[in-house]
């Protein structure tokens, strides 16, 4: 228990988590890669759009043919036809000639700009008046203007959103290499814990942590390879952790409720092959008894049994390691700026996370701290967001502006 | 094209989308319901935690037995045993008696409070000194303090996050009723469009919209039941829309690139059974040619062919209808407060969405508008967020504080 005396800071723990190596890549069909993290930089293997393309409906022209054109002295051009969509136009514009073109159409040879249809006046007998001068390249998307062949299109570590999939599709990437999903094993411990499908006898409670932890991990892209409930028994927990390590990249142990079990967990983690205890106790509230160890490249975490503490440690530490294992670049936490409705006291020297409801107000949002014991599950459900009292603070004032981190 | 003269506002369109009826419910195993929307209110069918529970490690006492206890005049109690975890303690505390208890343990009969172990001093021969007075109920979680039987636990329309699944697990709900997933059919049109696995000939471009739209819809909980690419041919598009309506709740048609095709889309939507054209043109940029119709309870949408316009309409309108169909309660958009790096011009009378990169700065975030034609896919990938120029604005100033809506 000695190490408990020197609590690590939240930032120190996050730095340690950044030391786990990213998982190897796997190749997926493009449409199966949503929200996954790119394993290597993607360079464009061709130009996009690949040809000079009109951005408006109108007339393809050589800009020099309409130089100085205006309402009162239009340029008169001969229309030699329509540019077909999806094909190379089979004409070449000579001096004084134009062709009709639609948005997305390929410019014919001899054209270097497009006049919007609003700035043209057909005069019959195949002639059209252009009433606006324009510069070469106007209303044209150049063949390599979106992406040029050889250009770095997306960097490794990027989370693939709809738009990244769109760019990869535009480049013809039918497959993409992403870091494989982290495999997570979840072990709940505690003599008072029963599976959620069991009606608890007096003194027993249902296992909540396995559900909240699994959901949080899945939301971060992990797959759950084992869910186990173990009594407060050192040997059984040891063998369960060893089995979990055979199949998982991350092993989460929540509970046990007894002080003795908490020490077991540290010793069991330390007894695993190639293991190293990294953290035993963090200056965080809730969640102080958090334990972190490494066994080879696998990550072992001991979370509080307390549902609020377990979920907070998962939001702060488990999410961080799952992103790290997937090689994720830094991300911006979804948040809103809010005004605190009432003062909040905090203990100096630890980072405190306070659950708040967000209520719309005249000037944006009001953050209303959720009262009552922090262990309540109902309070977790009421919370829209978390606000942070930093380590060097004794609390926050009513009316203070805070960043409320949205709980997704 | 007459209706084009009266563009609807973004808010008018959102109000029309709120008129679509939510889809029926379906029952899922609890752990399969993450990020789905609850179809009916859940009332607690039992108390949680179900028994009076200690919130600390220490000694269970009757508060009256330690009344006035302090460091200099402790109360001396006889320790009669340990409260087991997960069971009803088999003792009853008489006057002057106490029992050891762990966090989460059930209080024995005769006890109404728990003294923290830090405020106790065992004196040997089975006696323990208590050095702190405490009130009845202190360090005790009452049997119904988290959730009381009969209490409304979660309201219909709530998105099921990790914590909602936790509360449902605590209540023993192994199954949960959620609105079923919306089924979406995506039709791309345009003579210049080829499937993404095809190498485009000069003049052709790959179909990007089907990928971005599918990803966005899946991110909002929908499943994609059909992906079709149709040439600019009125009859084929008609039969494809009719087929799509047989299997989908939402039909998205993106393109066609020709002005004529855009009119087709309106007429085809109007030709479907029980159809009603609701919107033809919106005061939004990009995305003005947006079309909305209803066919029975199904939603038909015409999106621009332009990838940026199609994606923006999807983010603003498709996401809204998918949430509505899933009975979602109002949600807070993930965002950050940022300072605009340079001025942005906008046209009065339409709501303009501007793509920005977010860069960390001394005081938070700087929003840097992405330059270049708005149609570029590469610009979509660079964007972290959108900022909004409202209808009544001619632009935003450099240095102005803006809400940057994060693109997830």
* pLDDT digit string, tens, across residues A168-223: 999 999 999 999 999 999 999 988 999 999 999 999 999 999 999 999 999 999 99
List Cβ neighbours of A246 (8 Å cut-off, separation of 6 or more).
Answer: none
Query: Which of A170, A193, A196 has its CB closest to that of B206?
Result: A170
pLDDT confidence bin for A259, thresholds 50/70/90: low
Q: At residue B292, does pLDDT exceed 50?
A: yes
Which residues have CB under 8 Å from B361's CB, separation 6+?
A: B339
The DSSP result for B262-318, as a single string, is: HHHHHHHHHHSTTEEEEEE-BSEES-TT-EEEEETTEEEEEE-SSHHHHHHHIIIII
CA-wise closest residue to B305 among B233, B208, B374? B208
The domain spanning residue A32 has which CATH number?
A: 3.90.105.10
Span B14-22, mean pLDDT? Answer: 98
Contact list, B197 vs chain A (CB under 8 Å) = 172, 174
Q: How far is B221 from chain A (nearest CA, A)?
A: 13
Q: Final residue of a domain: which of A284, A302, A325?
A: A325
State pTM to two decimals.
Answer: 0.95
CB contacts < 8 A (A, B): 287
- pLDDT, residue B4, reads 47
Tell me, yes or no, whether A369 lies in a domain: yes
Task: Kindly state whether residues B199 and B287 are assigned to the same domain.
Answer: yes
**In the structure, what pLDDT confidence band is assigned to residue A124 with cuts at 50, 70 and 90?**
confident
Dihedral of alpha carbons A120, A123, A128, A133, sign: negative
Distance CA B358, CA B381 (A): 13
- For residue A240, the distance in angstroms to the closest alpha carbon of chain B comes to 21
A367-388 average pLDDT score: 89
Distant-in-sequence, close-in-space partners of A205: CB < 8 Å, separation ≥ 6: A192, A193, A194, B48, B49, B50, B53, B104, B170
Structure confidence at residue B2 as a pLDDT band (50, 70, 90)? very low
A210–chain B nearest CA distance, Å: 8
Judging contacts by C-beta atoms under 8 Å, the chain B residues touching residue A50 are 200, 202, 205
Q: What is the pLDDT of residue A258?
A: 56
Inter-chain residue contact A218 with B358, CB threshold 8 Å: no
Token pair for A239: 């063998």
**Residue B179 phi, psi dihedral angles, 5° rounding:** -65, 140
How much of chain A exceeds pLDDT 90, in percent? Answer: 86
Report residue A158 as tokens.
């990027």
Interatomic CA distance for residues A169 and A177, integer angstroms: 14
Domain presence at residue A148? no
Domain identity same for A240 and A319:
yes
| Chain A residue at shortest CA distance from B141 | A373
Give CA–CA dist B304/B258, Å, rounded. 11
Tell me what the mean pLDDT of segment B201-215 comes to.
Answer: 96
pLDDT attached to residue B5:
53
| Pairwise CB contact (< 8 Å): A406 & B332 | yes
Whether A115 and A239 map to the same domain: the answer is: no
Binary contact (B87, A203; C-beta < 8 A): yes
Closest by alpha carbon to A40, among A175, A121, A162, A156?
Answer: A156
- Residue A352: pLDDT over 50: yes
Nearest CB to B169 within list A31, A147, A206? A206
Examine the fold and report which residue of B112, B141, B170 is the final residue of a domain before the chain moves on: B141
The widest CA-to-CA distance across chain B, in whole angstroms, is: 97
The confidence band for A4, taking pLDDT boundaries of 50, 70 and 90, is very low
Residue range(s) defining the domain that contains residue B101: 53-141
pLDDT in tens, B93-119: 999 999 999 989 999 999 999 999 999
* Beta bridge pairs of residue A129: A76, A121
**Cα–Cα nearest to B298, from B275, B329, B323:** B275
Cβ contacts of A210 on chain B, cutoff 8 Å: 169
Are the Cβ atoms of A105 and B190 closer than 8 angstroms?
no
How many other C-beta atoms lie within 10 A of the C-beta of residue B50?
22
Residue that has been written with the tokens 């994609």 in this structure: B224
Residue B58, domain member (yes or no) = yes
pLDDT (average), residues B59-76:
95
A286 in the same domain as A174: no
Check which CATH number belongs to the domain holding B187 and give it: 3.40.980.10
- What is the rounded distance in angstroms from the CA atom of residue A64 to the CA atom of residue A131? 14
Let me know whether A70 and A125 are in one domain. Answer: yes
Given B93, B111, B141, which residue is the final one in a domain? B141
Q: Which of A380, A244, A232, A386 is nearest to A301 (CA)?
A: A244
Query: In terms of residues, how long is chain B?
Result: 408
Of residues A282 and B371, the one with the higher pLDDT is: A282
Torsion, Cα of A38, A40, A43, A48 (10° steps): -10
Give chain B's domain count: 4
DSSP string, A155-212: -TT-B--HHHHHHHHHTT--EEEEEPPPEEEEEEE-TTEE-TTSPPPTT-EE--HHHH
Query: Is the pLDDT confidence value at B42 over 90?
Result: yes
Cα dist from B333 to A27, A101, A195, A318, A394, whole Å:
32, 40, 35, 24, 30
What are the chain A neighbours of B220 within 8 Å (beta carbons)?
none
Q: Are residues A248 and A303 in the same domain?
A: yes
Instruction: Please report, to the nearest 10 degrees, the dihedral formed by the alpha carbons of residues B211, B214, B219, B220 taken in order.
Output: 150
Q: Please check whether residue A149 lies inside any domain of the structure.
A: no
DSSP H or E segment with residue A276: strand A275-280
What does the pLDDT read at residue A2?
A: 45
Beta strands in B346-384 (DSSP E): 351-361, 364-369
DSSP type of residue B133? -
| CB < 8 Å to B53, chain A | 205
Contact A163 B311 (CB under 8 A): yes
Q: What is the CATH number of the domain that holds A350?
A: 2.40.340.10
Residues A384 and A255 in one domain: no
Instruction: Look over chain A and give the mean of its residue pLDDT values, rounded to a whole number.
Output: 93
* Tokens describing residue B61: 């006492």
**Residue B43 Cα distances to B154, B160, B172, angstroms:** 7, 15, 12
Q: Is B147 close to A193, i.e. CB distance below 8 A?
A: no
The answer to the question of residue B76 being in a domain is yes
Residue of A nearest to B217 (CA): A162
Q: Provide the mean pLDDT of chain B.
A: 94
pLDDT (mean) for B317-325: 98
Residue A85 is assigned to a structural domain of this protein: yes
**Residue of chain B with shortest Cα separation from A224:** B31
Note whether A340 and A308 are same-domain residues.
no
Phi, psi (5° rounding) for residue B141? -95, 115
B330 is a domain residue: no
- The per-residue pLDDT for A47 is 95
Give me the mean pLDDT over the A58-83 stretch. 96
Q: Given this model, what pLDDT does residue B363 score?
A: 79
A398, A287, A288, A407: which is closest to A345 by C-alpha?
A398
Asked if residue B399 has pLDDT above 90, the reply is: yes
Q: Indicate the pLDDT class of residue B133, thresholds 50, 70 and 90.
A: very high
Q: Predicted confidence band at A376 (pLDDT cuts at 50, 70, 90)?
A: confident
Mark yes or no for CB contact B167/A377 under 8 Å: yes
Q: How far is B160 from chain A (nearest CA, A)?
A: 9
Interchain contact, A167 vs B381, CB within 8 Å: yes
Residues B33 and B153 both lie in one domain = yes
pLDDT at A234 over 60: yes
CB atoms near residue B79 (< 10 Å): 18
Structure tokens belonging to residue A313: 């440690």
A196 and A299 share a domain?
yes
pLDDT at A256: 63
In a domain, B196, yes or no: yes
Angle at B32 between CA B29 and CA B35, to 5 degrees: 130
Residues A172 and A218 in one domain: no
Question: Which sign, positive or negative, has the C-alpha torsion B307, B313, B315, B321?
Answer: negative
**Whether residue A83 is found in the same domain as residue A105:** yes
Q: Which residue of B has its CA nearest to A364?
A: B403
Q: What are φ and ψ of residue B370, in 5° steps?
A: -90, 120
Query: Which of A85, A160, A210, A233 should be substituted to probe chain B, the one whose Cβ sees the most B Cβ atoms within 10 Å?
Result: A85
Q: Indicate the residue of B162, B172, B199 with minimum beta-carbon distance to A199.
A: B172
């Amino acid at each position: 228990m000695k190490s408990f005396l020197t609590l690590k800071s939240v930032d120190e723990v996050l730095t340690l988590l950044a030391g786990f190596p990213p998982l190897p890549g796997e190749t997926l069909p493009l449409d199966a890669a949503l929200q996954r993290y790119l394993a290597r930089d993607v360079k464009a293997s061709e130009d996009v759009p690949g040809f000079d393309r009109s951005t408006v409906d109108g007339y393809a022209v050589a800009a020099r043919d309409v130089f100085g054109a205006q309402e009162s002295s239009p340029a008169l051009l001969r229309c030699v036809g329509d540019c077909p969509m999806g094909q190379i136009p089979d004409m070449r514009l000579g001096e004084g000639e134009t062709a009709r073109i639609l948005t997305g159409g390929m410019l014919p040879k001899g054209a270097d700009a497009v006049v919007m249809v609003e700035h043209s006046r057909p005069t019959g007998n195949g002639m059209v008046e252009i009433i606006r001068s324009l510069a070469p390249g106007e209303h044209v998307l150049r063949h390599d203007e979106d992406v040029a062949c050889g250009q770095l299109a997306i960097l490794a570590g990027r989370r693939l959103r709809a738009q990244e999939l769109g760019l990869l599709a535009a480049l013809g990437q039918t497959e993409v290499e992403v870091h494989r999903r982290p495999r997570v094993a979840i072990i709940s411990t505690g003599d008072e814990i029963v599976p959620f499908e069991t009606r608890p006898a007096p003194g027993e409670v249902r296992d909540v942590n396995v559900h909240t932890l699994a959901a949080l991990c899945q939301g971060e892209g992990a797959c759950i390879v084992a869910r186990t409930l173990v009594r407060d028994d050192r040997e059984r927990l040891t063998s369960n952790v060893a089995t979990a390590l055979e199949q998982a990249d991350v092993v989460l142990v929540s509970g046990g409720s007894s002080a003795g079990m908490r020490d077991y967990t540290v010793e069991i983690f330390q007894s695993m092959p190639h293991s190293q205890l990294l953290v035993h106790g963090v200056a965080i509230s809730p969640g102080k008894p958090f334990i972190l160890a490494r066994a080879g490249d696998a990550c072992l975490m001991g979370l509080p049994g307390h549902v609020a503490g377990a979920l907070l440690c998962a939001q702060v530490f488990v999410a961080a390691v799952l992103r790290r294992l997937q090689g994720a670049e830094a991300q911006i936490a979804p948040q809103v700026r809010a005004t605190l409705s009432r003062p909040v006291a905090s203990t100096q020297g630890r980072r405190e996370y306070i659950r708040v409801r967000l209520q719309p107000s005249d000037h944006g949002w009001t953050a209303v701290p959720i009262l009552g014991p922090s262990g309540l599950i109902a309070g977790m459900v009421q919370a829209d967001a978390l606000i942070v009292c930093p380590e060097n603070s004794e609390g926050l004032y009513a009316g203070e502006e805070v960043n409320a981190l949205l709980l997704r």
